[in-house]
Amino acid sequence: MNKLFRKVMRIGKRLSKKNRFAKIKPLLMMGFSIILITFLLADSTLSVFTVSINGKSMGQVRNKNQIYTLVDSVEKDLSEKFGTEATIDEQMISFASTKVKEMEPLDEDAVIWELSKSENSFLKSWVLSVDGKRVVAVNNEDKANQLLNAITKHYMKDGSHYLSTDFKESVEIHEENVHSNKLLDYEEALRVVLTGTSEIKEHQVRNGESFWTIAEKYQIPIKTLEAANKAIDPEKLQVGQKISLVIPKPYLTVLTTEEAIVSEKINFSTTYEKTDSLHEGEEKVKLKGVFGVKEISTQVVRENGEIVSTEVLDSAIVQEPSNQIVLLGTKAIPSSLGTGALDNPSRGTVTSAFGRRWGRLHAGIDIANKKGTPILAADGGVVTFAGWRGNYGLLVTISHGNGKTTLYGHCDEILVSQGDVVKKGQTIANMGDTGNSTGVHLHFEVRVNDVPQDPLKYVEYTVN
């Protein structure tokens, strides 16, 4: 076709030189132009490459380097984002050579999106394997080693003298290319190894809640809740505290062997002296006892902080105990005070009943109401204790004679004193939340010869 075009042009030039056909020269030139345009249009196809990623068409390019430039750019961005060397899997990219009259532009945004997908790229990482099973991958070898150190230290106590530390399982760190969705940051990797899961299920404690109500809310056994929160004392829940709902199953078992010197109390003996200066059931310390102290040297082996074996190496008494002398009242309580029957000690609803709770005996009932609600003597008697006592907080104890006593715990304010004679229904305190309490309530106990009884056998309340 080009040869024909050149031949026509040569003929035109000869005719022009000879000045022949001068009158038709413009017409000839117009014809030549039409022929030229026709030839050019007939030969206007382009050689291009149709680009596909994972079988999805992305458009067309004249040069493959246009795609490889985008690959380099995405690898650089991923490397900066994850802090390690990134490699795009180029096997998913295909080029189909073709000729077209009009090229389909390359959709660069779509290309970058596809290349950036986690399944289309690999990141250089260091994988922690336990007994041959890949557990977590991090972007730095130092981080992987720090991870093992942090896991070990998690189960070690400051001030303890450790003879050795090790892992029960076979542990290995090796380099491996992984997809980006398998790469974890340091804190997340630590949590996965320590808990056995990347799933977080927590509950934030609200006012008035207890382990009992939380377990009931999520329909999980109370023992499961206790196992998931071994470091938390159920009696000392705080509003806003986070409670785990998942039992941790660590991937690693840290074995520690430590040498410890443990101080052990030696109980003192208590002797009683009767006196008619105190009412029946009332006690008063005449001479305070002193615990003795024994020091025991032991070798303790633990698995994840839990003792699995203890060997006593040596022991010695460093302080002998001193006996305590207690005055025991014999003065009869006026028969006009104690009726033998108990009335409700306050207004409210029972939120926790008598019985086993959190692995131990809940020796009374919890009666909830607002702060300042009056607390009444369930029967007449003598106040044998009025003050602060450990988990009870502010506590009042009343002896009603015949070995029967009642206890009123977590008071906000006490209105009686030890030794006071009180009548049935007399206000003795106001309701509060002192001591180990998850909310405002009265902890009410009934004891016969110091043995806890179910108060609901003596008083009437609606149990929530």
Contact 376, 426 (CB under 8 A): yes
For residue 464, being part of any structural domain is answered with no
Residues 141 and 233 in one domain: yes
Distance CA 409, CA 390 (A): 10
Alpha carbon of residue 163 to chain centroid: 31
In this structure, is residue 249 part of a structural domain?
Answer: no
Indicate whether 283 and 386 sit together in one domain: no
pLDDT of residue 8: 47
Question: pLDDT of the chain along its 464 residues, tens only?
Answer: 445 445 545 555 554 544 544 555 555 566 555 555 555 444 568 899 999 999 999 999 999 999 999 999 999 999 999 999 999 999 999 999 999 999 999 999 999 999 998 888 899 999 999 999 999 999 999 999 999 999 999 999 888 899 999 999 999 999 999 998 899 999 999 988 988 875 678 889 988 888 888 888 888 888 778 877 887 888 788 889 988 887 778 899 999 999 988 889 999 999 999 999 887 777 889 999 999 999 999 999 999 888 999 999 899 999 999 999 999 888 877 766 777 889 999 999 998 899 887 778 899 999 999 999 999 999 999 999 999 999 999 999 999 988 899 999 999 999 999 989 999 999 999 999 999 887 899 999 999 988 999 999 999 997 76
Asked, for residue 70, whether it belongs to a domain, the answer is yes
Q: Within a domain: residue 121?
A: no
CATH of the domain at 185: 3.10.350.10
Q: How many CA atoms lie within 13 A of 21 on its CB side?
A: 12
412 within a domain of the structure (yes/no): yes
Q: Are residues 453 and 340 in the same domain?
A: yes
Q: Which of 244, 265, 289 is the last residue of a domain?
A: 244
Closest CA to 419 of 311, 283, 303: 283
Q: What is the pLDDT of residue 79?
A: 94
How many structural domains comprise the chain?
A: 5
Domain that holds residue 200: 126-244
Report the distance separating Cα 310 and Cα 276, nearest Å.
Answer: 50
* CA–CA separation, 226 and 177 (whole Å): 40
Considering the domain architecture, whether residues 55 and 35 belong to the same structural domain is answered as no
Of the three residues 330, 354, 374, the one that is the final residue of a domain is 330
Q: Which of 307, 330, 353 is the last residue of a domain?
A: 330
pLDDT at 339: 79
Pair (229, 268) in one structural domain: no
Same domain, 345 and 406: yes
Does a structural domain hold residue 326?
yes
Sign, Cα dihedral of 151, 154, 159, 163: negative
Distance CA 127, CA 117 (A): 21
Q: Which residues of 267-298 are buried (b: 16+ CB within 10 A; e: fewer)?
A: eeeeeeeeeeebbbbbbbeeeebeebebeeeb
User: What's the token pair of residue 302?
Assistant: 């633990």
Give whole-number Cα distances, 344 to 224, 397, 421, 442, in Å: 35, 15, 19, 11
pLDDT at 43: 52
Judge whether 260 and 160 are in contact, CB under 8 Å. Answer: yes
Q: Are 298 and 391 in the same domain?
A: no
Q: Note whether 163 and 98 are same-domain residues.
A: no
| 204, 238 Cβ separation under 8 angstroms | no
Is the same domain home to 206 and 260? no
